Chains A and B, each alone.
Chain A
């Protein structure tokens, strides 16, 4: 099952639509840089961080945790049977993180100074954001090195591959340490907000909860990708089903840990009442918790007959839950005083959609022309 390019044509209705979305985003992006945020976005002083942070960075990198979560299994727990899933997961991680990193430029008001955050003479080490920025930047480089064997195989650079192979253990270690650090810190970012975040989300356990849910997102995304890319590229799922089954189970155990810690923490902090008294926030909390609990029921209860569909649905529920958890922590649970409202403007959403479209385009290009997906022999359609 050596990885092979699946070939095929690049121009298709799907890729055309994606390209149009990318162009639209470029148009609105140009507007933002020429005329300021107001021309395209609804962010304001009550909600200075909108979807360009909550989605593009916080959720975007969370969804790109497949490579990280699999590396934990394959290289730390020594479960080499998951190897066939690694390249596609890594590809999604490379794109997710690279685009997440680049999209920050859209959100930085004084983007021409962005390099300050990487320079010690400017850095302020009490700021959680410094840690996030450094770790994300370093991890993007690490991801490209981890992915480089794929490029080397295609481009025929055995010398470079030999060199990276020799040091790969260190790169892999960094590739686990860095996401552990910044995925937890994406939660810690909110601690300095203090009482502005509802007690349903504000806790010193934010880093742990963000970390656990990011790893679970990693497994869910791998399952999701395996299911959609088999459907999308008309491949058979038989080879991958046992792996998907065991990954799903790991995800379910992580979710149990997440739910126990989250509820326990809320009760211990005396915020139990907030689960019912905070209106929309309480409602969103329950939607979130239901979506977190559903995969546990689907994957661990003895009565359920588990097939590809169940694994796919469980992964979807998990992803929705983790996405909502992040949106709630950053936006719904955030209240800076009366009179402020935020809902993203259409051009603001289009920029985010354009970034996602660019990611998917890149994914399609790479799996068609680079050895990413596990080879399957004759049953591919070209």
Chain B
């Protein structure tokens, strides 16, 4: 037989034409969505790498506050020594070291410390990915929380997070996702994030994102070497503050714009890339993915139109076909 090319194109793409066209053209602009906005009472953390002395008090207090087990990485198994976030560790301090590691917060022959924990994105990929609302963003505080009772354990959140934050428990028959939830269970008691509470230098500071952002901007304007005062604990009701000459900051608040902003922000004296925080675009990946998805399936309009067209075509061929039906 000879192939009629026009008919073939109709066949191969006919039924899916609507869907395919919508993919190739811009998704329906009415259904496209922008980045989500910062919640009204957003809470977060400000981590200032130049203040961090690497004492890891925050790592220990996090474990206590959240009832997480120790994690051993030395042969004698005496100390809780997590090397990275994991199914047992929600917060970890990592170090950067280069060459002779002489000077703190310097890239060449220098060293620095950095905190790894959930950034509580304004428009989180994990929440967008989660098929069963087990990952959710609190509409008031913006805290990204996890509900194991809903979770199916698909690990789409683990894969989607651009910061590698949600972790899964691969060593048990009843695994859960683990991630920092900003000690939301302590907030009703009038307490706040355990990592910020114990930080001796104010490197990790807790509070409303708006205030933290203003504090970050204030620090970036300090003249290097000038005497500076740093609040500790909770920015709204700080402990006695910590004084120290201002460092030379990189003029950038990490988390201000990255994938639509995050509620944990970072300051540092060196490039954030060196500290394991990648450069990311301002459009959130969640907005990108959901715009496409809602453009195709919003209101199920396109699929229903396609179904009607396909049913019509199939009725015609099944009805008048060779008599062989239904396979």
Q: Which of B19, B131, B259, B327 makes the CB contact (< 8 A) with A150?
A: B327
In which size bucket is the chain B interface? Answer: 35 or more
Residue interface mask A144-157, B partner, CB < 8 A = 1: 00111110000000
Assuming the A-B contacts A75-B314, A116-B132, A254-B12, are A80 and B152 also in contact, with contact meaning beta carbons closer than 8 angstroms in the complex? no
Smallest beta-carbon distance A194→chain B, Å: 4
Contact A38 B23 (CB under 8 A): no
Q: Which residues of B contact A249 (CB under 8 A)?
A: 3
Contact A76 B280 (CB under 8 A): no
Residue interface mask B1-31, A partner, CB < 8 A = 1: 1110101111110111001100110000000
Residue interface mask B287-313, A partner, CB < 8 A = 1: 011101110110000010011001101
Q: How many residues from A make CB contacts under 8 Å with B?
A: 89
Is A181 located at the chain interface by the 8 A CB criterion?
A: yes
Contact A168 B8 (CB under 8 A): no
Could you tell me the distance between the alpha carbons of A55 and B158 in the complex, rounded to whole angstroms?
19
Among the stretches B41-49, B53-61, B160-168, B237-245, the one at the interface with A is B160-168
Among the stretches B65-73, B97-105, B183-191, B318-326, the one at the interface with A is B318-326
**Residue in A80, A194, A195, A242 with the greatest tally of chain B CB atoms within 10 Å:** A194
Contact A195 B155 (CB under 8 A): no
Contact B132 A117 (CB under 8 A): yes
Is A308 located at the chain interface by the 8 A CB criterion?
A: no
Chain B contacts with A in 253-303, Cβ cutoff 8 A? 259, 276, 278, 280-281, 285-286, 288-290, 292-294, 296-297, 303
Which residue of A is nearest B259, CB measured? Answer: A194
Chain A contacts with B in 186-240, Cβ cutoff 8 A? 188-189, 191-196, 204-205, 207-208, 211, 215
Q: Which residues of A contact B171 (CB under 8 A)?
A: 36-38
Q: Which residues of A contact B326 (CB under 8 A)?
A: 146, 148-149, 161, 164-165, 168
Q: Which residues of B contact A172 (CB under 8 A)?
A: 310, 314, 318
Which residue of B is nearest A109, CB measured? Answer: B153
Assuming the A-B contacts A122-B133, A168-B326, are A78 and B317 also in contact, with contact meaning beta carbons closer than 8 angstroms in the complex? yes
Contact A72 B314 (CB under 8 A): no
Is B79 located at the chain interface by the 8 A CB criterion?
A: no
Chain B contacts with A in 187-235, Cβ cutoff 8 A? none
Could you tell me the distance between the alpha carbons of A249 and B326 in the complex, rounded to whole angstroms?
26
Contact A242 B130 (CB under 8 A): no
Could you tell me the distance between the alpha carbons of A79 and B285 in the complex, rounded to whole angstroms?
42
Is A380 located at the chain interface by the 8 A CB criterion?
A: no
Q: Given contacts A174-B307, A250-B3, list 19 more A-B pairs with CB under 8 A.
A: A45-B85, A76-B11, A76-B313, A109-B168, A109-B175, A110-B153, A110-B176, A111-B153, A113-B153, A117-B132, A128-B289, A146-B326, A169-B318, A173-B314, A181-B297, A205-B24, A207-B296, A211-B16, A336-B159
Residue pairs across A and B with Cβ atoms less than 8 A apart, 17 shown, are A33-B173, A45-B85, A45-B168, A76-B11, A76-B314, A109-B153, A109-B168, A111-B153, A113-B151, A124-B127, A126-B293, A165-B325, A173-B307, A173-B314, A176-B16, A211-B19, A250-B8
